[in-house]
A = this chain, B = another copy of it.
């Protein structure tokens, strides 16, 4: 791959100067058009061998364009807050919003190469990391992000020469990072693995551009032209169609699973005395598990979905009733804010992922896309169809990072819902719980039932299974919720 790139390409100063002015002007134009339209973000990944001009190119882009609309991020040693969360969290929090450009100087590719070359990463781990990167990038592209991946290359001989020159130049030695120093000592190994990575991670929707770093002028013009053409094409596409990576297969609703919901025995109930006993015992168990030292190595996330009036709020209060308010955090999921709308769908859930040792309860969740958004038409069919995979990926990230994820669907039947709606309308301090919207949603009972079946069918994985909770009887539901959380924590402790 690197051999096929024409090594040693160069451009003379006069040619550079002549093209630079117009290139610069054109880049500024597209940058402002991007800002004005603000319907997609641009992500520029910078990778390559040491001394090949990565830093200088980013610097030049900041000079050519308006640096106020470019955010440069580096990902050195993770901070304490980052270490306490899944590894991808640091990338999510740095994603540029729509209309802006983000430069990731060092990213998942430098991480996977560092692990493979200097760490303990094995070949299989590298392939897994490539796979993860593909899924992340595909998701970003599906959400509209325009991705450029640049690999700056240099021959071993040229690299050594530059490294030594830089080292001795106090004005420019900032261009060297500790990683660079390591790289210079393991060029062969590094380049071999990099070739493997690039070969397996270049996609139509996020191709690699290998830039020969030998000549400053050539390199700068090449990067500038690629960005300009890519941006112009993307801006032209905007409005015409969404930026789709690949077609998705249509979803056929599973009748079997619809049966699964229908087969729930909603008559299950607990009588009051038994309920009080079991509730107290499960609350004590949760309280004790949360104070267990092993909890410090995990994160607990409980995700609540369910029919309207199924008793999510009440169940959540029985869970938190066992705990110190300092231990948990409730995230009520409502309409996304302006800042959230400028980001990929899952961003607002990623931003709320708690640190290790903490417990977060999502009251309604990332499943909104395949439930209410699907049924009410708040997103396109393509969007909710691909959400299943995105959600599975998201939950895999959580699981890999030691997150104990418990997902509940609280199910009631139509008669029970009607009774509860009517009761809510009649009790003053419950009136806030019932709105016109609830009545409207109720009319779409079957559509929601189908959406739930598909959701359970496609997202109930071994690592993150759904728990269907028979909720016609609130007492039964509350105890089942608590017991399920406790069992999940114990199972995670046992697996250690």
A71 to B25, CA, bound (A): 48
Contact A325 B80 (CB under 8 A): no
A141 to B148, CA, bound (A): 47
A287 to B326, CA, bound (A): 45
Contact of A55 among B80, B324, B432 (CB under 8 A): B324
Is A270 among interface residues, defined by CB-CB distance under 8 A? no
Is A321 among interface residues, defined by CB-CB distance under 8 A? yes
Is A247 among interface residues, defined by CB-CB distance under 8 A? no
Q: Mark A34-77, 1 if CB is under 8 A from B, else 0.
A: 00000000000000000000010011001100111111101000
Q: How far is the CB of A347 from chain B (nearest CB, A)?
A: 13
A68-B316, A339-B339 known; 12 new pairs, CB 8 Å cut-off, are A24-B429, A29-B432, A63-B320, A68-B313, A69-B332, A72-B329, A103-B325, A170-B288, A171-B284, A174-B327, A337-B339, A338-B338
Contact A429 B67 (CB under 8 A): no
A246 to B485, CA, bound (A): 51
A264 to B292, CA, bound (A): 67
A105 to B326, CA, bound (A): 8
Contact B325 A428 (CB under 8 A): no
Contacts of A63 in B (CB 8 A): 317, 320-321
Contacts of A327 in B (CB 8 A): 174
Q: How far is the CB of A147 from chain B (nearest CB, A)?
A: 19
A55 to B326, CA, bound (A): 9
Is A266 among interface residues, defined by CB-CB distance under 8 A? no
A29 to B288, CA, bound (A): 34
A64 to B120, CA, bound (A): 52
Which residues 314-357 of A have a CB within 8 angstroms of B?
A: 316-317, 320-321, 324-327, 329-330, 332, 337-339
The A contact surface, by secondary structure, is helix
Sample (19) of A-B pairs whose CB atoms are under 8 Å apart: A25-B428, A29-B428, A29-B429, A58-B326, A62-B325, A63-B320, A66-B313, A68-B313, A68-B316, A72-B325, A72-B329, A74-B326, A79-B80, A79-B81, A80-B80, A81-B81, A171-B288, A174-B327, A337-B337
Q: How far is the CB of A62 from chain B (nearest CB, A)?
A: 5
Is A28 among interface residues, defined by CB-CB distance under 8 A? yes
Top 6 closest pairs, chain A to chain B, by CB: A25-B429, A68-B332, A338-B338, A80-B80, A72-B325, A32-B432
* Contacts from A to B (Cβ < 8 Å): 24-25, 28-29, 32, 55, 58-59, 62-63, 66-72, 74, 79-81, 103, 105, 170-171, 174-175, 284, 287-288, 291, 313, 316-317, 320-321, 324-327, 329-330, 332, 337-339, 363, 428-429, 432
Contacts of A337 in B (CB 8 A): 337-339
Contacts of A291 in B (CB 8 A): 174
Contact of A325 among B58, B325, B363, B432 (CB under 8 A): B58
Q: How far is the CB of A33 from chain B (nearest CB, A)?
A: 9
Contacts of A432 in B (CB 8 A): 28-29, 32
Contact B171 A287 (CB under 8 A): yes
Contacts of A62 in B (CB 8 A): 320, 325
Contact of A59 among B55, B80, B325, B332 (CB under 8 A): B325
Contacts of A28 in B (CB 8 A): 429, 432
Contacts of A103 in B (CB 8 A): 325
